[in-house]
Amino acid sequence: KAGVTQTPRYLIKTRGQQVTLSCSPISGHRSVSWYQQTPGQGLQFLFEYFSETQRNKGNFPGRFSGRQFSNSRSEMNVSTLELGDSALYLCASSPRTAAEQYFGPGTRLTVT
């Protein structure tokens, strides 16, 4: 079974721009979660989707948003980028609620 895939793997953007990251979960997994990883803050939860519904959201500003499609693929969007948004963004999928999560390779976002 193919793992979680994320595109693009690397991205360089300028302050004020917006960005969209994509995630394809493992086949059959309906839960998709997003995390931000930075050296200073570690791994922080952004949001979780199940069957196109956002069930939980982390403590991030409204500039961070996401969605899930009927095929379980998910996207996250960050608008009005700030330097502090530079991070590794990780997507994870899960076969059921509160179970183990399987991570993709991440998208490395650099904001200049």
Residues engaged in binding another protein (CB under 8 A): 4, 6, 31, 33, 35, 42-43, 45, 48, 50, 55-56, 58, 90, 92, 97-106
Instruction: Provide the minimum distance between the beta carbon of 32 and another protein in the complex, in angstroms, as a whole number.
Output: 10
Give 41's DSSP letter: T
Query: Which CB, 48 or 85, lies closer to another protein?
Result: 48
Instruction: Provide the minimum distance between the beta carbon of 40 and another protein in the complex, in angstroms, as a whole number.
Output: 11
Q: Are 78 and 64 in contact (CB under 8 A)?
A: yes
Return the H-helix or E-strand segment holding 51: none
**Distance from C-alpha of 11 to C-alpha of 39, rounded to nearest angstrom:** 18
Query: Which CB, 20 or 58, lies closer to another protein?
Result: 58
Listed residue (71, 63, 70, 27) closest to 46, CA to CA: 63
Query: Which CB, 12 or 43, lies closer to another protein?
Result: 43
Query: Which CB, 81 or 101, lies closer to another protein?
Result: 101
In the numeric block, which tokens belong to residue 11?
Answer: 């991205």
Instruction: Provide the minimum distance between the beta carbon of 33 and another protein in the complex, in angstroms, as a whole number.
Output: 7
In the numeric block, which tokens belong to residue 55?
Answer: 């069930």
SS3 content of the chain, % helix, strand, coil (to 5): 5, 55, 45
Instruction: Provide the minimum distance between the beta carbon of 92 and another protein in the complex, in angstroms, as a whole number.
Output: 8
